[in-house]
C-alpha cells in the first residue's frame, strides 16, 4: 500500500465519529471470560491488591481482567486455565523468532551454566554482539549497551547536548521515546503537549520541542526560530510516530537528515521498533539515511531482560568512555550494562535472524 493511500484512509477514519463497544457486547465478553478463565480472574483480583491497576504493562487488557500466562512456545501461549492462544502481540514485536525459541534458549542456558549475570567485568559476548551490530549498521562506529529503550534515548539526547553544546531537543509530534522526564511530551498524539506529563516539573521538558509529522517546512522554521539557543538533535521513529501508526512519507527521513546537516544538529534514529525487524540493516538502510546516533530496545535480545543500547559516530560516542577520566565526558552507566546473558542473547539473536 502506497503512502498516499494510507494517508487517505487515515483521513477518512478520523472523519468518522468515535464509537464505543456496546455495553451489551462487553457484558457478553465479560461473562464468557469469567467462565473460561476463572483462575486468571482470581489471580488478577489478587494482583490488584498488590500492583497498581493489577498489571505491569500498559498494553495489557484489564477489562474485565488480564489473563495469566503459564507457558509460551512459538506463536502460542497457554494460560493458567489451560486455554491456548495465538499471540499476535509477540512481546511488543521483540519475540519475532517465536516464544522460547529452542536454539536461543539452549545457548542462553549454556551461558548461565558458565557465568553469573552480574559479573561486573567485560565478557566475550559483549564484543561479539557489538561487532555484529556494527557489521549490519555502518553508521555505528562505537556502541554501548543499556537496560531499555528509555535509557538508550535518555543517553542519546544527553550525548547530543554534550557534543553540540546546544540545549533544544526536537521530536516528531506523537512519537514515543520512552518515559523519561524530558521525552514524556507530545507523546502518542501530535499536539498533545504535556497531556501525559503528570508528575513532571515543567522545567524538565522546557527544552523539548515537537513538530508535526511529515512537515519539513515546520521543522525548518523551528530551526530558524531556535537559532540562538540551538537545536542539539532531532529524534524520531523512522516509520513515523507511534511505531508507524502515524506514517511518514518515504522521503521524510532524508529531508530531516538534510535539515540536521544544514543547521549543525544531530539526527537520532530511535530504532527500538524498526532495528533488525525491517532487515538486519534496520530502517536506516531501508530509507538510505545515516543517523548520527541510533537507539535500540528489547529487539536486541529477543525480549530477554536488561536490553537496550546506543550506537553512533566515534567522535560523539567517545564522550561515554568510562573510568576515572574527567572533563568532557557524559555520565550514563549502570550495573548490568552488557551483562553476559543480555550480550549473549543479542549475539545469538542476530545470528539466528541472519540464518532464518
**Per-residue confidence (pLDDT) for residue 103, from 0 to 100:** 96
| Residue pointed to by grid coordinates 554482539 | 129
Q: How far apart are CA 291 and CA 312, in angstroms?
A: 8
pLDDT at position 244, please?
86
Determine the average pLDDT of the residues in 16-27.
88
Nearest to 43 by CA among 63, 61, 69: 69
- Confidence at residue 325, expressed as pLDDT on a 0 to 100 scale: 60
* Res. 28: pLDDT tops 80: yes
Choice among 146, 163, 176, 263 that is catalytic = 176
CA dist list (Å): 83 to 33, 69, 79, 91, 222: 11, 9, 6, 19, 53
Higher pLDDT, 231 or 18: 231
pLDDT at 51 over 70: yes
Please count the other Cβ atoms lying within 10 Å of the Cβ belonging to residue 295.
29
Q: pLDDT band for position 22 (50/70/90)?
A: very high
pLDDT cut 90: percent of the chain above it: 70
Question: Which tens digits make up the pLDDT trace of 104-160?
Answer: 999 999 999 998 887 778 899 999 999 999 999 999 999 999 999 999 999 999 999
More confident residue, 214 or 18: 214
Q: Which residues contact 230 (CB under 8 A, 6 or more apart)?
A: 164, 165, 166, 167, 168, 265
347 is catalytic: no
φ, ψ of residue 322 to 5 degrees: the values are: -90, 180
- The predicted pLDDT at position 145 comes to 95
For the chain, the average pLDDT equals 91
Marked catalytic residue, from 153, 166, 298, 347:
298
pTM of the model: 0.92
Choosing from 153, 186, 270, 292, the catalytic residue is 270
The pLDDT value recorded for residue 83 is 98
DSSP per residue, 174-194: B----S-TTT-SSBSSTT-TT
pLDDT for 1: 64
Q: What share of the chain in percent tops pLDDT 70?
A: 97
Return the percent helix, strand and coil in the chain, to nearest 5: 40, 15, 45
Q: Which residues have CB under 8 Å from 64's CB, separation 6+?
A: 29, 30, 33, 34, 41
Give the CA count within 13 Å in the CB-facing half-sphere of 318: 6
Tell me, yes or no, if 176 is annotated catalytic.
yes
> What distance lies between CA 242 and its chain's CA centroid?
10
| pLDDT attached to residue 321 | 79
Strands of the sheet with 69-73, listed across from one edge: 69-73, 76-79, 84-86
DSSP 202: G
Which range has the worst mean pLDDT, 200-209, 302-311, 331-340?
331-340
Q: Give the CATH number of domain 102-355.
A: 3.40.640.10
For the question of residue 185 being annotated catalytic, the response is no
Average pLDDT (313-337) is: 83
Please report which residue ranges of the chain form alpha helices under DSSP H.
3-15, 23-36, 38-48, 102-114, 124-136, 149-164, 216-225, 252-262, 282-287, 314-317, 340-355
Question: Does the structure show a pLDDT above 60 at 324?
Answer: no
User: Which pLDDT score is estimated for 2?
Assistant: 73
What is the grid cell recorded at 334? Answer: 549502570
CA separation (Å) from 331 to 156, 172, 319, 320? 12, 26, 9, 7
Question: What residue spans define the domains of the chain?
Answer: 23-86, 102-355
Does the structure show a pLDDT above 70 at 197?
yes
Backbone angles phi, psi at 311, to 5 degrees: -135, 155
**Where residue 9 falls among pLDDT bands split at 50, 70, 90?**
confident
Closest by CA to 143, choosing from 166, 126, 160, is 126
Residues in a beta bridge with 99: 74
- Tens digits of per-residue pLDDT, 65-87? 989 999 999 999 999 999 999 99
pLDDT reported for residue 63: 81
Half-sphere exposure of 71 (CA within 13 A, CB side): 7
* Spatial separation of the C-alpha atoms in residues 35 and 33, rounded to whole Å: 5
Rounded CA-CA distance 236/264 in Å is 17
Amino acid at each position: 500500500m502506497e503512502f498516499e493511500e494510507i494517508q487517505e484512509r487515515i483521513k477518512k477514519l478520523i472523519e468518522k465519529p468515535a464509537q464505543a463497544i456496546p455495553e451489551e457486547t462487553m457484558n457478553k465478553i465479560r461473562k464468557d471470560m469469567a467462565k473460561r478463565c476463572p483462575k486468571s480472574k482470581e489471580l488478577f483480583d489478587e494482583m490488584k491488591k498488590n500492583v497498581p491497576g493489577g498489571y505491569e504493562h500498559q498494553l495489557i487488557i484489564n477489562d474485565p481482567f488480564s489473563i495469566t500466562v503459564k507457558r509460551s512456545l512459538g506463536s502460542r501461549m497457554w494460560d493458567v486455565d489451560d486455554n491456548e492462544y495465538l499471540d499476535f502481540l509477540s512481546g511488543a514485536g521483540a519475540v519475532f523468532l517465536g516464544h522460547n525459541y529452542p536454539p536461543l534458549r539452549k545457548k542462553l542456558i549454556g551461558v548461565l551454566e558458565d557465568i553469573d549475570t552480574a559479573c561486573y567485568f567485560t565478557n566475550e559476548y559483549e564484543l561479539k554482539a557489538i561487532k555484529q551490530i556494527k557489521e549490519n549498521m555502518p553508521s555505528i562506529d562505537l556502541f554501548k549497551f543499556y537496560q531499555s529503550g528509555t535509557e538508550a534515548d535518555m543517553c542519546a539526547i544527553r550525548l547530543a547536548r554534550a557534543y553540540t553544546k546546544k540545549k533544544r531537543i526536537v521530536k516528531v509530534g506523537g512519537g514515543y521515546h520512552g518515559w523519561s522526564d524530558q521525552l514524556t511530551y507530545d507523546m502518542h498524539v501530535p499536539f498533545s503537549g504535556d497531556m501525559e506529563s503528570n508528575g513532571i516539573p515543567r522545567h524538565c521538558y522546557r527544552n523539548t520541542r515537537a513538530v508535526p509529522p511529515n512537515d519539513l517546512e515546520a521543522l525548518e522554521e523551528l530551526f530558524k526560530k531556535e537559532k540562538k539557543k540551538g537545536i542539539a538533535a532531532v529524534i524520531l521513529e523512522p516509520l513515523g510516530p507511534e511505531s508507524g501508526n502515524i506514517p511518514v512519507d518515504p522521503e521524510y527521513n532524508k529531508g530531516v537528515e538534510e535539515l540536521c546537516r544544514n543547521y549543525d544538529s544531530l539526527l537520532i534514529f530511535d530504532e527500538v521498533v524498526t532495528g533488525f525487524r525491517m532487515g538486519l540493516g534496520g530502517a536506516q538502510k531501508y530509507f538510505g539515511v545515516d543517523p548520527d546516533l541510533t537507539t535500540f530496545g528489547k529487539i536486541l535480545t529477543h525480549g530477554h531482560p536488561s536490553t537496550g543500547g546506543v550506537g553512533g559516530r566515534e567522535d560523539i560516542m567517545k564522550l561515554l568512555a568510562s573510568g576515572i577520566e574527567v572533563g568532557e565526558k557524559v555520565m550514563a552507566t549502570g550495573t548490568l550494562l552488557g551483562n553476559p546473558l543480555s550480550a549473549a542473547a543479542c549475539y545469538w539473536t542476530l545470528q539466528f535472524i541472519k540464518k532464518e
